[in-house]
């Protein structure tokens, strides 16, 4: 069993600001926000990174996307837009090794990928 900080948040062993939760995933505010709105969409199933995703997990990815759509609507920026980012392993900048998607919005985000 993996034991990342996100597993501890899911288990309520450490606190976080939870924006949404269901049986499949949890959404928390990033502790070090890079935009006015910065949430992390985290599946509850233990999956280390994008590289470990299996075809049977496709419903999880779709649920992460539909949750982002819901958050955008609920927070009033569905037509303005937002950015979704998934860092994969060391070179991709991943620091917490449980799959998660960053969702950023609340301002016009600058370009650049590296």
Locate the DSSP E strands across the chain.
18-21, 25-29, 37-43, 83-85, 101-105
The 58-77 site mask, x for binding ligand AMP (CB under 6 A), equals --------------------
State the DSSP H helix or E strand holding residue 10, giving kind and residue range, or none if neither: helix 5-10
Binding ligand AMP (rule: CB under 6 A), the pick from 4, 75, 96, 106 is 96
Q: How far is the CB of 79 from ligand AMP (least distance, A)?
A: 26
Nearer to ligand AMP, 21 or 56 (CB): 21
> Exposed, middle or buried: residue 105 (CB in 10 Å: 0-12, 13-18, 19+)?
buried
Query: Given 7, 38, 59, 100, which residue is catalytic?
Result: 100
* Rounded Cα distance, 38 and 32, in Å: 8
Which spans of this chain sit near ligand AMP (rule: CB under 6 A)?
5, 16, 28, 30-32, 40, 87, 93-96
Which residues are the active-site residues?
100
């Amino acid at each position: 069993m993996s034991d990342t900080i996100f597993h501890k948040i899911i288990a309520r062993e450490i606190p976080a600001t939870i924006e949404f939760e269901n049986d499949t995933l949890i959404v928390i505010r990033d502790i070090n926000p890079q935009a006015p709105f910065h949430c992390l969409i985290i599946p509850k199933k233990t999956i280390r990174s994008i590289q470990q995703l299996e075809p049977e997990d496709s419903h999880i990815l779709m649920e992460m996307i539909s949750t982002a759509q819901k958050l955008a609507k609920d927070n009033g920026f569905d037509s303005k837009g937002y950015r979704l980012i998934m860092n994969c392993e060391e070179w991709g900048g991943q620091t917490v090794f449980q799959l998660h998607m960053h969702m950023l919005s609340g301002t016009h985000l600058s370009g650049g990928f590296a």
